[in-house]
Structure 1
Amino acid sequence: MNLFDYTRADTLGAAVGAEGALLAGGTNLLDLMKIGVATPSRLVDVTRLPLTRIEEHEGGGLRIGAMVRNADLARHPQVLARFPAVAEALLSGASAQLRNAASTGGNVMQSTRCPYFMDPLSPCNRREPGTGCSAIGGETRNHAILGWTTGCIATHPSDLCVALAAFDAVVEIAGPSGTREVPMATFHPLPDANGVAPALAAGEIITHIRLPDPGGMARHARYVKLRERTSFAFAIVSAAAGVEVAQGRIVNARLALGGVAARPWRCLDAEAALLGQPPTEDAFARAAEQALEAAAPSGDNAAKIVLARRIAVRALSLAAAGTPDRMPALPASVFEGDVHG
């Protein structure tokens, strides 16, 4: 690990524009520093920022502070009641210990787990634009099948972001030039010939994630993840889905795929195709075919396209069947002030 300076930002104003890498939970950044992939000259500790609340938002939505811990978000009573796929996505990721430390904003900003990106000796356009993508022609079993270029075929690893993208989450950002908002579905840039541009401009910081009212999909939403082992593994493919049915026909649908691209892949055409259809496996299979219509292997990973279709059908089918009861929520009093208690 390289030598670095350390400073702490106790206010949002101090964090905005600060020079250095932002340190929240540290569950990704510190790992990258230990292996020499990240070498910041300064760490800016943002763990004291007043961004730890989960609040009601207009129209039945929620506004989530960037410093809310993943474990707290997964067990918040309103998340369990209105956005069960978000809770399910969080609980499928990492370990309980990491969820206790990881922050919402940090989860959104985590780096790819591409093994070539994680190896500082391998050329990588993400680490050093213009050096090439070592994954091309390499081990590509878990790499992208949508939205990739020869500049980068890595995938985004977050489970949470897939559920957020499916249910129209918006990222609130503060920076030296003011504030801005970006839909989660387009927050992470897709690669060009030279790699991937950063999601945030210099000096910017995520302050909140905003989720709108899910309406009739509140209890018909699921997150399904296929991984190589049950515990502490990133998705090979995953899907977040929501289905609202009235009089035997689908009147609203949501579908996003994970593990398939450099960002969560929102399947708008598939959602539109489901409207007016009966909630049957055949309808879901046709939607899945449409969702993966543009998919192409980035190497020896054609099987991933088949797996993505199947995981989409399963997520849609489970969502249509209804969300089962979850684990007990934390007491509401825990969230009346600072979620860290």
Structure 2
Amino acid sequence: MSGDFREAGEGQALADRPPFVTVADAPAGNWVDRYAPAPIRPYLHLARMDRPIGSWLLLLPCWWSTALAAGAARAPYPDPRLLILFAIGAVAMRGAGCTWNDILDRKIDRMVARTRSRPIASGAISLPAAFAFLALQLLIGLAVLLSLPRFAVITGLASMGVVAIYPLMKRITSVPQAVLGIAFSWGALMGWACVFQSIDDPALLLFAGAVCWVFAYDTIYAHQDREDDAIVGVRSTALLFGQASWLALALCYTATTVFFGLALMGAGAGVIAWIGLGAFAYHLYGQVRRLDIDDGALCLAIFKSNRDAGLILFAGLSLDVITQHLGALWLP
């Protein structure tokens, strides 16, 4: 390794690094680089505020669960307060997860072209400062969690162990995406837990489908780093499946659709929810059809498109709740 990447002591910035400007894997012209004050810019990059796709993907299972539970409870609409709290919590906890990941991966990040300019790896943020920032984000997430019903608080706390160990999984297993799937899908339990103070079959089925969904889209994402991961010894499903990734994705997305369909049946969802699920499934089919694992830019674009797929499903679930309620009011 060159002198740029040697350890300069835990918590000490690398003196031979240039002044922090941006990071290589941030979108060009992102709002952080354009508008954020320079002193806080590294922290916003560390929390991935320049690329909100991760917050969306963490949030969507929470919103699905809230809408599914609202329909099962025959509420007039998904609880807006829960939707807002979950949005705040998703941003905070996604940022905390990225910070924790970068703390643990700082040495690996220095060996990968796409990640060596990240704030901790580049020395723009010291290790003590990164831990302080992590604590701040966790406090925000805790404040959101404590505003939920007691059963939901306990359910949310149960996820912390999975969140903590995920960054280590790529060192010991070829399927770290499975652990990420559990962590990023936990919200599929949370909305239901808030509404019913329990975790019933529809929530568990929604969770299982979300795990398959995350497993698939993160496999697509991992194909961007396939060559670098092989060099530094990091494992992933992209390396495991290789050219057979399209088949693995097709199976995972099929399982996602089946599990979600069973969840809709269990919750007594109506026609509009099923239309939303159909549109969601068609979007996933299009991802598999378009995929070229040797085109990193395309892999990133397909990965990001899962936000749109998730919003389509949420819209279907929410409109179904509203229309079913209005229909009940109009019936004699």
Question: What TM-score do you get using the length of structure 2 for normalisation?
Answer: 0.30
TM-score, structure 1 as length reference = 0.29
RCO higher in structure (CA 8 A, sep ≥6):
2
- Who wins on radius of gyration, i.e. which is larger? 2
Q: Which has the higher strand share?
A: 1
Q: Which has the higher helix share?
A: 2
